[in-house]
Amino acid sequence: MSRNDLPPSGAPVARHLSVRWYLVLVVVYVAVVQVLGFVLTRGTGGGYETTGGVWRSITVPVGVGLVLVGVTVTVLRWWRPVLTDDRPVRRWVAVVPVLMIVSILAGTDYGGLAARGAGFTVLLLAGTLFVGFAEEGLFRGIGLVALRGNGLGEGGVALWSSVVFGLAHSANLVSLGARAFVQVFVVAVAGYFFYLVRRRSGGLLLPAVLHGLWDFALITGSIVPGESYPGSFVVVVALIVLAIVVFRRRHRIEPGAA
């Protein structure tokens, strides 16, 4: 247990959460978001091309999920360990958030956003930031604290939090079919990068914001009906480059590693 897991003197003692109950929480979160999204978009065709579509598909369902995450953290009394992280990594890992920021800036379809208007852009940005804070809070927040609290080493924490993050997106099999399997793998890899960002930045804020902006950039590539924005491939290429860099330097992540 790290010093971030210890409550200040006189503060209520944090509760314990088993891995089993953490997985139950993940299932409940996914079910809430998926069911609400299905109910709200039924008969509308879904999609993110309109303000109504963004509101029904992202803002409301994920907003409810974000509330669920916040209530859970409050009940567990985990705000401090969820929001902060005292397990630093080596300095070069800063290349992960830097490259992600560059790819977000390069991969956003600014022309498509301009055509949709300021109201649509603000709503989409708010919705994707909801996603960032909800999913980072659940997977790199509650998930990391739960896995660490159940005795996993940092390698196991990184692996299983990323695997669970990827598998949670298998719910998209309903809408994407077999393509969802590719998404599961890609999301799991991205989850590991967000894990590194959390440790490098010392907390949940930066990975949550990056997660939201990453989704924002990807979604802008499909907001114009019948068209795909070529710049979206920049985000995919960045993911591949990051995977290569991190894999080659995987033994130089932990402080003091040879």
Residue 5, in any domain of the structure:
no
Helix, coil or strand: residue 218: helix
Total tally of structural domains belonging to the chain:
1
Q: Please answer whether residues 74 and 180 qualify as being in contact, where contact means their C-beta atoms are separated by less than 8 angstroms.
A: no
For the chain, give the mean pLDDT. Answer: 90
Residue 154, in any domain of the structure:
yes
Select from 29, 17, 10, 24 the least CA-distant residue to 76.
17
**pLDDT category, 12, cuts 50, 70, 90?**
low
pLDDT in tens, 145-180: 999 999 999 999 999 999 999 999 887 666 666 677
Residue 113, in any domain of the structure:
yes
Rounded Cα gap, residues 108 and 222, in angstroms: 10
Report DSSP letters for 71-130, one per residue.
Answer: HHHHHHT-HHHHHB------GGGGHHHHHHHHHHHHH--HHHHHHH-HHHHHHHHHHHHH
Residue 237, in any domain of the structure:
yes
Q: Which domain holds residue 203?
A: 15-252
Q: What pTM does this model have?
A: 0.91
pLDDT in tens, 172-221: 666 666 677 888 899 999 999 999 999 999 999 999 999 999 999 999 98
Residue 3, in any domain of the structure:
no
Residue 258, in any domain of the structure:
no
Residue 124, in any domain of the structure:
yes
Residue 236, in any domain of the structure:
yes
